[in-house]
Every structure is written in C-alpha cells, then in structure tokens.
Amino acid sequence: MDANNESNALGASSNNPTLQAIVAVDKSERVQCQQPGCGHSVYAAVHIVEEHSRLLVLGSTCFEKRYGGRTALGPASYGAGNGRKLTAEEREMLIKNTAALLSWFQEEEAAAARAQKIREDAIATTNRSPISRPLQQLPPVPRGGFTTQAVPRSSPWPWQRPGTSIALLISPQGKCWIRVQHDNGSQKLVPWPKFSGWETALPHDIGLADTNLGAIAVDNIVEAIRILQNISFQGPIVGSWQEVLSRTQR
C-alpha cells in the first residue's frame, strides 16, 4: 500500500474517526490491511476510515478490534455500506490515492442527486401542466430524439465481468452511453442503443472504437467521465444493468 496513503487528508476534520466507505475487491486482487502489525491482505468488507486527518484501509476484523465493534462508527459516508465491488481503476485509486477514490464516490452521489432532481422537476412540471397544453409549448425533443429499447432479461454484454455494476451517462443530445467493465478488467463505453456514427461520437481523447464489441475502449474511465461531464453529459448513474437500463426507457 502506498505510504502516501497515510497522509491523504480530505480537509479539516475532527479527531473523531469516521467511516467513509465499505468496499470490496476481487479475491485474486486483495489489498493490504493498514492496521499496524496486521500484515494480512483483504478483499471483502474493506473499511475506509478517516482518523486524525488521514485515511486508513482496514479489514473488517481489524476495524472491529480498533474501534470496538462492527457498527461502532455508524453508517458509512458514501454508499450503502454493503461492500460495493470496485472496478480495476477504483481499486488502483484505493491503493495509490484513497482520497481520490472518495472524491470519485462523492462525484457519483452528486451526479445521482442531480439526475434525481431533474426527474422530480420533470414530474412536477408535468403534474402542474394542463393536459391540453398546446404543442408549441412542449419542450423541444433533443437533437436525435430518444430511442427506446426493451430491457433484456440478462446482461446484453456477454463479455461483462460478472457481479460488476454499470453506469449511465446521457449526452446533451439525449444519447445514452453505458460504462461496462470487461471481463479482462478494462472499461468500455457502450452506446445504448447503438446508433449510426457512434464510433466517432465521443471525444477522441476518451478512447478508440472497438467494432467487435460495439463499444469505445477507454484508457482511463475516471478521466473519461470528467471529460464528458465538462461537455454537459449527465451522470454517471451507477447500478446493476437491470436498474440502469430501466432508466433509459422514455
């Protein structure tokens, strides 16, 4: 584990330890527990704790011994506390820059909150509007329109790594892109549904089109999402493929 991780401060904080997140990694990609004298590697229920303005990565047993119980610090600041499985890029951040990983979680939650606010505002506007509103008063359809596609019964990507989440990003024109982790650990951005010209629709800095998979092969997914957000993409909205794809229905 990177020694600099010990001093990854999130800003001014009290001396009281706080549970930031509980995550998990592949069993074959264990990470080192940072409890002094432990020496074990861990993969499930990996606890990230801020203590005295530094971040610690602890296995569940060491966490309970250090703080006096499994729920001693209350709920985690990010996530549902259910041990979200990290992608390969997120695991890299956990090891080398834990503060960046927490910032990434914060961005995800903020994006989800913004998307929820947009949906709530749209529903409220619809409820306030008379059914007979003239056609010219309706909001314009995004360029290219919305295309519906039924949610499949199983993951539409046979190459998706089992048990991993996906993430939805929506372009200003209403095109949906799905972040999917490949079974080999790499990240892809998939147009959903596929549309003509998808191969060159995203900035070239993000990656190259893989026509065999029907996806953009992404070199750095964190940087890619930041680039897309800077050009007014909404998201990411993270969840299982069933949850995320159901949100693409219009």
What DSSP string describes 162-225? Answer: TT--EEEEE-TTS-EEEEEEBTTS-EEEEEES--TTGGGSS-TTTEEEETTTTEEEES-HHHHH
What φ, ψ does residue 39 adopt, rounded to 5°? Answer: 80, 0
What is the distance of C-alpha 231 from the center of its chain?
18
Q: What is the pLDDT of residue 151?
A: 46
Q: Are 83 and 163 in contact (CB under 8 A)?
A: no
Predicted pLDDT at 144: 42
- The confidence score (pLDDT) of residue 8 equals 42
Integer Rg of the chain from CA: 21
Q: What is the pLDDT of residue 118?
A: 67
Say if pTM beats, i.e. exceeds, 0.85. no
Q: Tokens 């990609």 identify what position?
A: 29
Tell me what pLDDT residue 134 has: 37
Q: How far apart are CA 111 and CA 117, in angstroms?
A: 10
Supply the pLDDT for residue 249. 58
Q: According to the model, what pLDDT value does residue 221 have?
A: 87
Tell me what pLDDT residue 247 has.
63
Q: How far is CA 237 from CA 101, 115, 125, 160, 196, in A?
A: 17, 8, 22, 18, 24
Q: What is the pLDDT of residue 123?
A: 64
pLDDT value at residue 110: 75
Which among 53, 243, 232, 15 is positioned nearest to 151, based on CA atoms? 243
Paired sense of beta strands 187-192 and 54-58, if any? unpaired
Spans of the chain, pLDDT less than 50? 2-14, 129-151, 250
Amino acid identity, position 25: V
Q: How far apart are alpha carbons 163 and 10 in whole angstroms?
A: 30
